[in-house]
Structure 1
Amino acid sequence: LMTMEMWFLGLYVNSWRLLLLCILNLPLLFLLARRIGFENIHSRTQALRDAITAYGLGIAVSAAVLLLFGIFYDQLTTSNLIAKIA
């Protein structure tokens, strides 16, 4: 779990930069799944599936932890929620 400054940074970073960071994260996860994944992957579709699964789990766990800590209750706009999760 990161400090408050880490998840609060999503509110202050330019939204285009945050979107670029999220988009560039997927190829990084793809390469990690392809090279050093937990299972022996033989095709690119398996690596892509694993990367998308890891990305989705990261988003879901981030949202659950922030919800558990009560971080979402102070500002209930959709853009703020997405920025904090990202």
Structure 2
Amino acid sequence: MSDKLLSVPETCQVLGISRAALYKTIQAGDGPTVTKIGRRTLFRETSLERWMAEQEDRNSVLSPQAPAPTDISGLEAPSSEASQ
């Protein structure tokens, strides 16, 4: 089983964020799981994919739903007298 390790620049490219944004996310405890090898900070591809899926799920739960369409069948049209 081969799980590719991504560098910080590669991870930033995949996520479409800056290095600073990635490190802020990690420092806040909200980022993908980090793998340290010596001084290198790496990310397992499978962990990154799982984290991205979790973010999508979390964002879909937190995003407001569109309001339900209003039933206008019982409303009357404005009378022509009101516009005169």
Fold shared per TM-score above 0.5? no
- Given the two structures, how large is their TM-score scaled by the length of structure 1? 0.32
- Given the two structures, how large is their TM-score scaled by the length of structure 2? 0.32
Which one has the bigger helix percentage? 1
Which structure is richer in relative contact order (CA contacts within 8 A, separation 6 or more)?
1
Which one has the bigger strand percentage? 2
